[in-house]
Structure 1
Amino acid sequence: MIQSPSEVFGGPVQKTMKRLFAVTLILTIAFAYFIYIPLPSTVSEPWKLMILAGTFRGFMQMGTVAHTLGLTHHTDVLNLVASSFGLLGSESSENLRVSDTAFAGVEVRVFQSTLREAGELKRGVVYIHGGGWALGSARSGSYDCLCRKLAKDLDAVVVSVEYRLAPDVHFPVQYDDVLQASRHFLQPEVLAQYSVDPDRVAVSGDSAGGNLAAAVAQQVAIDDSIAIKFKVQALIYPVLQALDFNTPSYQESQNVPILYRTVMIQFWLEYLAADPEHLHALLLNNHTAQDQNQVASARAKVDWVRLLPPSVQKQYKPVVQPRGTPRILEEVPGLLDPRASPLLAERDVLVQVPQAYILTCEHDVLRDDGLMYGQRLQEAGVTVTHDHYEGGFHGCISFAFWPTYFSVGIQSMQNYIAWLDKNL
């Protein structure tokens, strides 16, 4: 009896197909399990954010494994991954001259608009990139693109500061780098060299860069040795304090990508050269407990029950421990240093800082840092523009460029530049 091909090959082929289907199904379920995370209904483009967050989590886990095995520091892995996506060269383009140089020994990338005739004065912006004081670069794709757009749209000179990063250095090195570069740029002869109007210079930054921008704006404002001051400060979802990791936004958005509460605390501990074992204590606010009198005045400056509107506070309650861990503040004095936490600055400092633009996102653990700082500045008599995005998440402006377009990133970037155009 002659068998048909299907009878001869059907059995093995069918088994192979079943196995392939089973493997595909398992991989699909595993992929969906890894990618899918519950997100607030109002967050912008949730599936796109899930994929982005899954990718970021994968890189974070790679860094953790490498760190655990003693191969390298976990942030080195993240920076290596980031650089593999491209550190852009200083190529100039039409109406824009780009160059890498150093200001007072600090590396910077300078973007000069060439739209005006030689000798005509332009606006100036000192820009400070984010990345938890440990990641990122003035040369990375998103920041290079942002600064190019700033220079072109504002017809300005933009100085993007390549400050040194943790874990190679710790606070106050990052702050000092940005301050030194800013002091150098604000010298009359340097501004003249770049044809920048001394009355129209801004300082700006996002996330940890917003932290450094706020801190440097404070120092420049009160330093009598610096004759030329910043006209405005523009802070994009800035991180401004490390005393309360249980503000309403820290509680509400603790698991919303791309900045999780535990990751932000890890960035703080690395920045301040602190023991990573303090993570759990900081999660519980043990470092600011009621029995620690040395933080009483500082605690009042982050009193979100007073500083935040009821609509933001919602059902959340302050987390204040009766007894804490006093050795944390002894070991990590930077927690109370306004150069690290600009929200802790005294009122006599705040009254001198320039007009402020503060951008916040609803689904961001740092939302309330920006809101509280804006309120304290207003109480000190400083003009503040608050730009808030209900669908926004931390880092969204960095995703306004190819290949990670987010509509909220494009909108927030456009409004940020429009504010600078109007007020600088």
Structure 2
Amino acid sequence: MKLRWIGAVLLSAAAYYVYLPLPSTVSEPWKLMLLDAMVVSWVEVIEAHSCSSVRVTDSLLGGVPARVFQPIGGKKLKRGVVYFHGGGWALASGRMRSYDLLCRKMAEDLDAVIMSVDYRLAPEAVFPEQYYDALAASRAFLSAEVRQRYGLDPERLCVSGDSAGGNLAAAVAQELGQDGSLEVRFKAQALVYPVLQALDFYTSSYQQNHNVPILYRPVMAQFWLQYLGADPGLAPLLLANNHSSLDQAHLPSQVRSKLNWTSMLPAERRKDFRPVVRAEGTPGVLAAVPGLTDVRAAPLLADAAVLAGTPRAYVMTCEFDVLRDDGLMYVRRLRDAGVQVTSDHHEDGFHGCMVFAYPPIRSDVGRRSMDRYIRWLDQNL
């Protein structure tokens, strides 16, 4: 019965994707299609795999559940990374096979302690609860108690995450960068295809990749509304950019300038796409959903002075990802604020590729992106 069900899922997916247009240069399109079918069909959560060189335990970090990956042996003082998983603030866990394997590899290759945080998820928890969990876990990670318990080097600590987790990592880096009471600060922030704004659903990457798996444009709008605890019926307004029309009094020009992709992106990323800016929109949306302009939810909107207080950064982006321009605009804004940034763009990449670097479905760009991410951490932490 189970095999017949799996077969039906795969055959249905194959029949659907035959008619789904994909960019001709995307890396290994059939693997991308199969990955998308699997993600839509189920989320595989497993217990940790055995690994003789890494000890894995479950603990609390600032009161938030976390899985801790500790390398056995090596240097006495370890590098440390606190990691936030993706999943639209509503899905996934650090216990998932893909994240478990990623964190094990990070711990082993970097001789580092990795703490993967299981923050609360929507719809049971909504903004700012996920943000508060990430902030509490990060403060605890930097504390003398945790550093001493796990032998962390106070000069070599990083906050990181992918997709929605990259959003949380960026928001945490901004908040703690402004906290003058901290004895120890993050040396680095590593953001993997982060989601950073919800005011413009017509960036060039949203227009180019609206139908590219795994993250579709309408799905991202629904993730945002669920995260912000808003009416899901507002999705058509967001997808039409009615919430960011020129007549919205809550959006002054200085806010709009922080996500003006026509001036912030190079021509090869803008391509021939044109911005979609409504003269008149739907009144009251921003007032009803204030999180849309809250920098804790949308780190791209932070002031330059806040960005300047964040640590050196790594930002991974993928060509075939609706969130590509979020990351590239953040690279530009960080650099303009004087932050040292490495922009790692994958021309054949797609959203979520890094966590699909292992069998049974191993993508070449997945393994390559993971290797480059870990290499940056090794060289900058």
TM-score by length of 2: 0.94
| Amino acid in structure 2 at the alignment position of 1:368 | D
Q: Is the 8 A contact 1:208 1:239 kept in 2?
A: yes
Q: 1:88 aligns with which of 27, 47, 57?
A: 47
| Amino acid in structure 2 at the alignment position of 1:390 | E
2:23 alignment partner, SS class:
coil
- Counterpart residue number, 1:68: none
- Counterpart residue number, 1:398: 355
Q: 1:112 aligns with which of 57, 64, 70?
A: 70
Instruction: Find out whether 1:39 has 2:22 as its counterpart.
Output: yes
2:59 alignment partner, SS class:
strand
What are the residue-to-residue correspondences of 1:249-328 with 2, within 5 Å? 249-296=205-252, 297-328=254-285
- Counterpart residue number, 2:328: 371
Structure 1 residues 302 and 400, CA gap change in structure 2 (3 angstroms): same
Offset, 1:189: 2.7
Offset, 1:31: 6.0
Structure with greater contact order relative to length (CA < 8 Å, sep ≥ 6) = 2
Structure 1 residues 318 and 116, CA gap change in structure 2 (3 angstroms): same
TM-score by length of 1: 0.85
Offset, 1:86: 3.2
Q: Is the 8 A contact 2:13 2:37 kept in 1?
A: no
Instruction: Find out whether 1:102 has 2:60 as its counterpart.
Output: yes
The count of corresponding residues between Structure 1 and Structure 2 is: 371
| Amino acid in structure 1 at the alignment position of 2:246 | Q
Q: Distance in 2 between matches of 1:35 and 1:56?
A: 14
- Counterpart residue number, 1:23: none
Task: Give 1 or 2: higher helix fraction.
Answer: 1
Q: Distance in 1 between matches of 2:10 and 2:304?
A: 56
Offset, 1:211: 0.3
RMSD: 1.6
Structure 1 residues 155 and 303, CA gap change in structure 2 (3 angstroms): same
- Counterpart residue number, 2:289: 332
1:122-157 deviations in Å (ceiling 9; x for gaps): 100001100000000011100010000000000000
Instruction: Find out whether 1:196 has 2:141 as its counterpart.
Output: no
Q: 1:357 aligns with which of 310, 314, 322?
A: 314
Q: Distance in 2 between matches of 1:345 and 1:52?
A: 34
Offset, 1:114: 1.6
Offset, 1:33: 3.0
Q: Is the 8 A contact 1:35 1:54 kept in 2?
A: no
- Counterpart residue number, 1:233: 189
Offset, 1:28: 11
Q: Distance in 2 between matches of 1:258 and 1:93?
A: 30
Q: Is the 8 A contact 1:35 1:53 kept in 2?
A: no
| Amino acid in structure 1 at the alignment position of 2:216 | Y
Q: Is the 8 A contact 2:10 2:34 kept in 1?
A: no
Offset, 1:51: 2.5
Q: Distance in 2 between matches of 1:165 and 1:186?
A: 23
Instruction: Find out whether 1:217 has 2:173 as its counterpart.
Output: yes
Q: 2:139 aligns with which of 175, 183, 190?
A: 183
1:287-328 deviations in Å (ceiling 9; x for gaps): 111111221232111111111111111111111100111211
Offset, 1:401: 1.5
1:377 alignment partner, SS class:
helix
| Amino acid in structure 1 at the alignment position of 2:294 | D
Paired-residue identity, %: 57
1:233-255 deviations in Å (ceiling 9; x for gaps): 00000000001000000000000
| Amino acid in structure 1 at the alignment position of 2:271 | K
2:114 alignment partner, SS class:
strand
What are the residue-to-residue correspondences of 1:373-388 with 2, within 5 Å? 373-388=330-345
Q: Distance in 2 between matches of 1:241 and 1:114?
A: 40
Q: Is the 8 A contact 2:348 2:365 kept in 1?
A: yes
- Counterpart residue number, 2:104: 148
What are the residue-to-residue correspondences of 1:64-83 with 2, within 5 Å? 81-82=42-43
- Counterpart residue number, 1:408: 365
Structure 1 residues 303 and 276, CA gap change in structure 2 (3 angstroms): same
Q: Give the number of the structure whose alpha-carbon radius of gyration is greater.
A: 1
What are the residue-to-residue correspondences of 1:163-182 with 2, within 5 Å? 163-182=119-138
Q: Is the 8 A contact 2:246 2:279 kept in 1?
A: yes
| Amino acid in structure 1 at the alignment position of 2:321 | D
Q: Is the 8 A contact 1:128 1:210 kept in 2?
A: yes
Q: Is the 8 A contact 1:35 1:51 kept in 2?
A: no
- Counterpart residue number, 2:90: 134
- Counterpart residue number, 2:3: none
| Amino acid in structure 2 at the alignment position of 1:283 | L
- Counterpart residue number, 1:17: none
User: 5+ residue gaps in structure 2?
Assistant: 1-8
User: 5+ residue gaps in structure 1?
Assistant: 1-26, 60-80
2:26 alignment partner, SS class:
coil
| Amino acid in structure 2 at the alignment position of 1:182 | S
- Counterpart residue number, 2:198: 242
2:251 alignment partner, SS class:
helix
Offset, 1:50: 1.9
